[in-house]
Amino acid sequence: MALAAIAIVARCSPLSFPKSNFSPLARVLVARSSSSFKPHLRRYKAMASSLSSSGTAAKTERVTAPYGSWKSPITADVVSGASKRLDGISVDGDGRLLWLESRPSESGRSVLVKEPEKPGEEPVDITPKEFAVRTLCQEYGGGAFSISGDTLVFSNYKDQRLYKQSLHLKDSPPLPITPDYGGPSVCYADGVFDGRFGRYVTVREDRREDSLNPTTMVVAVGLGEKDIQEPKVLISGNDFYAFPRMDPKGEKIAWIEWGHPNMPWDKAELWVGYISEVGDIFKRVCVAGHDPKHVESPTEPKWSPKGELFFITDRQNGFWNLYKWIESTNEVLPLYPLNAEFARSLWVFGMNSYEVIQSDKQKILIACSYRQRGRSHLAIIDVLQSSLSLLDIPFTDIQDITSGNNCLYVEGASGVLPTSVAKVTFNDEKSEIIDFRIIWSSSPDSLKYQSYFSLPELIEFPTEVPGQNAYAYFYPPSNHVYQASQEEKPPLLLKSHGGPTSETRGVLNLSIQYWTSRGWAFVDVNYGGSTGYGREFRERLLGRWGIVDVDDCCSCAKFLVESGKADGNRLCITGGSAGGYTTLAALAFRETFKAGASLYGVADLNMLRAETHKFESHYLDKLVGSEKDYYERSPINSVEKFSCPIILFQGLEDKVRKSCSFQWSPASLVLLPKNQERSIE
């Protein structure tokens, strides 16, 4: 999962760009940092409106200069210190929001922060300085903390033990509730409280016997910190587990499980277990995923206050939709079928795409988010009426939602808003929004540069397969001080996202604005295999990684050239992790791009398969194919085919990808065509 953006600038005459005569400039841009602000809903709408029309303002006063040469206040330093990262939100017993933020200023330390009691006051750090809240479970983590009333349980980064902490007793230090195994060899994630037995039910990953193939199970941890016991195993036997969720009475537990070679978005199962008087599971029912007629990937089970089980799966139309389990007949019923994604791929634990906000005889209301054609929507589903009502908020991208007191806390962003958490307040009928207020922002200082922002445009372009299209977000050059001559077309930097089964989203990212404010066009591609567009689109990559993604990136670049939005002689490509692989493959096996930058990219598919962590250890089984494919699609085996400048970046501590990347340098290396002198700035 990429946390940085890197790109190459080719400096030359804007109207004459020979294939072999230019110099690249490469810089690492790491985006994250900052504080909180509380403007009102109308301000955001006005901001978006003013930005959408700013491109036509004061053209006569602009300085005419070649694309790529424009000066911008969005510097590398601004980008590298731009924003904090959000790693989860929750609400305590007082109805106040807590969020987990990682701070670049503290070397990425993750800290839980509590919403102030009164408006205008400063948020309060909950995590003591000697702790950091983060789990290494399943490598990518997530779900590192949970709250019940005034009790917090969290995973501590250094030793990976679980700790219990009181939110009301300020001087009460966190106390461990799991055994000390002498190091961070046992990890926990995605836990929930079990009030019936006074315990904490969580996913555990045990690496003590085999670090590459750890044992995963669902366990119960006692909440007493004085007499720490070995956790009790509740569920085991499969390769992976997620979303253990207790019903309100503590009599049933729901969970998701899957096994190799499947990833959770390929095929998974939803189970319900019945809990005995002594806390064991004595009966199990498979709710979804067992019927061979339905290839599905259920996710995010959730119990209503009345004990009804809801979840999300893609069994009928290939899109992740909401369903309800009928316990008496073991049937599942769709709530509101729609060709839209109500969930996202399970890369990290703890996702929360919907909340049951009312459950009584008159109404069962579910607040949810869904994505359709590259945009997120916030909605209310009336389960009994089988109706859906849209709610108007400024976010065009929504990640997680959490229920508060007659409100929702929504994590989202837009083309003009960085990742933020907003408090969305309803009227009594929950039919409309009466207030929208930002509680936390990843980068409030970014708004000072809004006059330079380029707004993302969702584009749909034809692929190499007749009748099939793919998608991307296009950002045109934007700087209110400059303009280029009408004869010139801008250079293009194309980004291929990681995963590869992931999704890029059209939200404010200063790493992108760095380039567009300097006169570059930028395009962020959702190639075939990306999530967000249904199972059929997602499965285009099966057996064809290194082909479909590469072809789609090349097709996107060509589409923009043919549309007059980019200079065909100045096309560059970049990407991190799996996106770095696509970058290397595009440069080795195609001739579309003139330069490239790979961030911790995969160069050797065989070594990735052999040495990656358990979660992805069989990922390539479905993505690549035969041994011949593994060899032929690995850029490391075709170094002689590179004919343009490339820059490589690789972290020394990246255990996943270091062994399968180019090994000529641990930090960076530029490959240049023979007999050409180039300067690197």
At 236-290, the pLDDT tens digits run 999 999 999 999 999 999 999 999 999 999 999 999 999 999 999 999 999 999 9
Using CA atoms, how far residue 497 sits from 85, 254, 309, 502, 580, in Å, is 18, 33, 34, 7, 8
Higher-confidence residue: 24 or 481?
Answer: 481
Beta strand 299-303 with 109-114 is unpaired
Contact between residue 524 and residue 338 where contact means Cβ atoms under 8 Å apart = no
Confidence of residue 678 (pLDDT cuts 50, 70, 90): very low
Confidence of residue 431 (pLDDT cuts 50, 70, 90): confident
Using CA atoms, how far residue 38 sits from 44, 120, 371, 402, 436, in Å, is 11, 9, 26, 19, 9
Burial class (CB in 10 A: 0-12, 13-18, 19+), 383: buried
Phi-psi region of 513 (alpha: psi -120 to 50; beta: other; left: phi over 0): alpha
DSSP 8-state symbol, 74? -
Distance CA 273, CA 218 (A): 12
Sign for the CA dihedral angle at 13, 14, 16, 21 comes to positive
Distance CA 265, CA 346 (A): 7
Which pTM value belongs to this model? 0.88
Q: Which two tokens stand for residue 504?
A: 């890029």
At 343-358, the pLDDT tens digits run 999 999 999 999 999 8
Contact between residue 582 and residue 575 where contact means Cβ atoms under 8 Å apart = yes
Q: Which two tokens stand for residue 255?
A: 């969970």
At 100-116, the pLDDT tens digits run 999 888 888 999 999 98
Beta strand 309-313 with 321-326 is antiparallel
- Count CA atoms within 13 Å of residue 596 on its CB side: 33
Q: What is the chain's length?
A: 681
> Does residue 561 carry a pLDDT above 80?
yes
Sign for the CA dihedral angle at 324, 329, 220, 193 comes to positive
Q: What CATH number does the domain located at 448-649 have?
A: 3.40.50.1820
Residue type at 286 in one-letter notation: C
Tokens 């424009």 correspond to what residue? 70
Contact between residue 495 and residue 578 where contact means Cβ atoms under 8 Å apart = no
- Count CA atoms within 13 Å of residue 100 on its CB side: 26
Distance CA 471, CA 460 (A): 5
Phi-psi region of 646 (alpha: psi -120 to 50; beta: other; left: phi over 0): beta
pLDDT at residue 656, as a whole number? 55
First to last CA, the chain: 27
SS3 59: helix
Inter-residue long-range contacts of 322-330, CB under 8 Å, 24+ positions, other chains counted: 322/354, 322/366, 322/368, 322/381, 323/288, 324/383, 325/272, 325/287, 327/272, 330/285, 330/287
User: How large is the C-alpha radius of gyration of the chain?
Assistant: 25
What are the extents of the domains in the chain? 352-444, 448-649
Contact between residue 635 and residue 584 where contact means Cβ atoms under 8 Å apart = yes
At 64-91, the pLDDT tens digits run 999 999 999 999 888 887 678 899 999 9
Distance CA 167, CA 147 (A): 9
- Count CA atoms within 13 Å of residue 168 on its CB side: 7
Phi, psi of 41 (to 5 degrees): -50, -45
Q: Which two tokens stand for residue 84?
A: 């904090």
At 355-380, the pLDDT tens digits run 999 888 788 999 999 999 999 999 99
Mapping DSSP onto H, E and C, the string for 398-456 reads: EEEEEEECCEEEEEEECCCCCCEEEEEEECCCCCCEEEEEEEEECCHHHHHHHHHCCCC
Distance CA 277, CA 186 (A): 28
51 membership: H or E segment, kind and range: helix 41-53
pLDDT at residue 80, as a whole number? 80
Distance CA 376, CA 381 (A): 15
At 572-617, the pLDDT tens digits run 999 999 999 999 999 999 999 999 999 999 999 999 998 889 999 9
Mean pLDDT of the chain: 87
The CA-based angle 48-51-57, given to 5 degrees, is 150
Using CA atoms, how far residue 585 sits from 554, 575, 599, 632, 650, in Å, is 11, 11, 13, 10, 17
Residue of 204, 210, 169 whose CA lies nearest to 188: 204
> Does residue 438 carry a pLDDT above 50?
yes
> Does residue 140 carry a pLDDT above 80?
yes
Tokens 């002198």 correspond to what residue? 677
Distance CA 489, CA 570 (A): 9
Question: 156 - beta bridge partners?
Answer: 133
Using CA atoms, how far residue 230 sits from 138, 181, 204, 355, in Å, is 21, 11, 12, 33
SS3 246: strand
The CA-based angle 327-317-544, given to 5 degrees, is 120
pLDDT at residue 194, as a whole number? 97
SS3 226: coil
Confidence of residue 677 (pLDDT cuts 50, 70, 90): very low
Contact between residue 545 and residue 620 where contact means Cβ atoms under 8 Å apart = yes
pLDDT at residue 658, as a whole number? 53
